[in-house]
Structure 1
Amino acid sequence: MDFDLDAYLRRLGLDTVPVTPAGLAALQRAQLTALPFESLDPFLGITPDLRLDRISEKVLARRRGGYCFELNALLGAAMAALGFPVRRVLGRVRKGRPEPGPRTHLAILTEAGGRPWLADAGFGGPAPLVPLALDDEGEQAAPNGRYRLTHDPTTGETVVEQLTPRGWFQLYGFDGAHVTDADIDAANHVCATWPGLPFARHLMAGGYRGDLRIGLFDRAATVERPGGSEKRELRDRAEFAALLRDRLGIAAPEAALDQAWARLAGAKAAQKV
């Protein structure tokens, strides 16, 4: 289907996007601010439909969120429509683990201003708000922190790292292997159904509001701001719904909220037995 670029840009609050590094940075930051990350569908036993029209209907029209395969599909479609080259890569999430996971994170390689860039608006964690320059081996400043790209000689991957108070923390790695639609469909199925990954077992959501990043892992809500963070446990369905809808802008149906909260509350009760 044809991608409705105008509807996408309206959702992001953008008028035009120049095919420049500054335009690319504005696009990624606007999407990360407007379109939240959320894994409600896999948590409820639903494998996300990756047809672009279905993603657009879910995220743009119904004002839901999505995870990397959905959010970066939208970003890639918009970039292509605007004139940016788009090359998809599948990364392995690390998040500090000694061994990387399977190839289940979708990101995008592109070029702007004569330089190569990594664009990503679908990582459900503290990834940079703006693209990273692939030809820069030093620290790169983003509005939400400092990042760098390193090389892992064991896997041959380029690794995205974030500077934390405890040092450099690995987020995910990727290589230049060609990625097909079938690869992405298979990775989506694994993410949504395999118990070895968190999406079918835990509810995750996150998004940016100004200089705040709001996150949810099951019942644990986190607000990160410059200089510190706060964490609390959601006590009831009303707080749960308010966080998703009012703070993150996820317009989930009432039935889905009921089902998700019942599962979260049941897991909490089981821990007390």
Structure 2
Amino acid sequence: MSGFDLSAYLDRLGLTPVPVTAAGLRDLQRAQLRSLPFDSITPYLGGTPDLDLAAIMQKIVHGRRGGYCFELNALLGAALQALRFPLRRSLARVRKGASTGGPRSHLMLQVTLEDGLYLADAGYGGPGPLTPLRIDSDAPQQAPNGRYRFWDDPISGERVLDKWTGTAWFPLYGFDDAHVGDMDIAGANHICATWSAMPFAANLMLAGFDGDTRIGVFNRALTRESPEGLEKSEIADIATFAALLTGELGLRLSDEELDRLWDKLTAVP
């Protein structure tokens, strides 16, 4: 884990070292999701995120930027390893409500504790759980930001994560126990950042938490999803945009970067 600084990471999250327990895992994931936003700015502006752990630390922990799953869950995984949590990496197929998934493009973690197997994920840009869930249970599970369940897909052989919408179960992504190495992650990162069939180069996606309320941005569409309900609006101008990114989401961006993002968002096709 060359390049990872556990003390700096925990300071950024406002945590002290956590025990290797389900409660410790919960506190770590929840603190990261509330402190380190999801941001697809690098691929949106034409770059490919650097997955060197020192580069991720510099960008997100010290530079106060966000990242997407390959960066955010690399940090979470490094912290869990440093704290001696047993874990394995998995590459999931995102479904977004579909009956089948796309390519293996979402990095997530499976953590084995004395009381069972847990999903740990602080890098899913969609409406994932704020706290870890038991993978080895089929029963619905309540997180602070919603109700979730796992089920086995007999066609793909995947374990699928759903979220309850209030009227139906909505599949988020599916995964299996295939070995995931560094080159698998590097390839998936390249595909996500550069392939036109993936959403990242063409769409700005941001997400963060204010307490238990999830703040989500897809281009100029803004959603706030709380236990009380869902609010939707459109980002009207650059002042509102800048206040959202640098204020509520806590991203450190220059005026030039904000201008580049807004210019691309408002460009006429």
TM-score by length of 1: 0.96
Counterpart position of 1:20? 21
Counterpart position of 2:173? 172
Which is worse superposed, 112-121 or 188-197? 112-121
The whole-number CA distance in structure 2 between the counterparts of 1:185 and 1:213 is: 28
Aligned residue for 1:122, secondary structure, equals coil
The whole-number CA distance in structure 2 between the counterparts of 1:254 and 1:80 is: 37
The whole-number CA distance in structure 1 between the counterparts of 2:213 and 2:132 is: 19
Output aligned runs, 1:84-163, within 5 Å. Answer: 84-163=85-164
Is residue 2:232 matched to residue 1:207?
no
Counterpart position of 1:42? 43
Q: Deviations over 1:202-232 (max 9, x none)?
A: 0000100112211111011111222222211
Q: Deviations over 1:219-246 (max 9, x none)?
A: 1111122222221111221111111110
Aligned residue for 1:153, secondary structure, equals coil
> Contact 1:161/1:168 (CA < 8 Å) preserved in 2?
yes
Structure 2: 5+ residue stretches without partners = none
The whole-number CA distance in structure 1 between the counterparts of 2:187 and 2:94 is: 16
Aligned residue for 1:79, secondary structure, equals helix
Is residue 2:2 matched to residue 1:4?
no
Amino acid at match of 1:41: T
Amino acid at match of 1:152: D
CA RMSD of aligned residues (A): 1.0
Aligned residue for 2:12, secondary structure, equals helix
Amino acid at match of 1:202: N
The whole-number CA distance in structure 1 between the counterparts of 2:220 and 2:3 is: 39
Q: Deviations over 1:5-40 (max 9, x none)?
A: 000001101012010000001100000000000100
Which is worse superposed, 52-61 or 229-238? 229-238
Structure 1: 5+ residue stretches without partners = none
> Contact 1:145/1:162 (CA < 8 Å) preserved in 2?
yes
Deviation at residue 2 of structure 1 after TM alignment:
4.3
> Contact 2:68/2:125 (CA < 8 Å) preserved in 1?
yes
Amino acid at match of 2:30: R
> Contact 1:89/1:179 (CA < 8 Å) preserved in 2?
yes
Aligned residue for 2:206, secondary structure, equals strand
Residues 230, 114 of structure 1: alpha-carbon distance in 2 compared, 3 angstrom cutoff: closer
> Contact 1:116/1:133 (CA < 8 Å) preserved in 2?
yes
The whole-number CA distance in structure 1 between the counterparts of 2:190 and 2:256 is: 24
Amino acid at match of 1:13: G
Aligned residue for 1:138, secondary structure, equals coil
> Contact 1:63/1:251 (CA < 8 Å) preserved in 2?
yes
> Contact 1:24/1:112 (CA < 8 Å) preserved in 2?
no
> Contact 2:48/2:190 (CA < 8 Å) preserved in 1?
yes
Amino acid at match of 1:33: R
Q: Deviations over 1:139-192 (max 9, x none)?
A: 111111111110001000000011112211100000111011000000000000
**4+ residue stretches of structure 1 with deviation over 3 A?**
none
Deviation at residue 257 of structure 1 after TM alignment:
1.3
TM-score by length of 2: 0.97
Counterpart position of 1:183? 184
The whole-number CA distance in structure 2 between the counterparts of 1:174 and 1:205 is: 23
The whole-number CA distance in structure 2 between the counterparts of 1:230 and 1:106 is: 28
Aligned residue for 1:155, secondary structure, equals coil
> Contact 2:85/2:111 (CA < 8 Å) preserved in 1?
yes
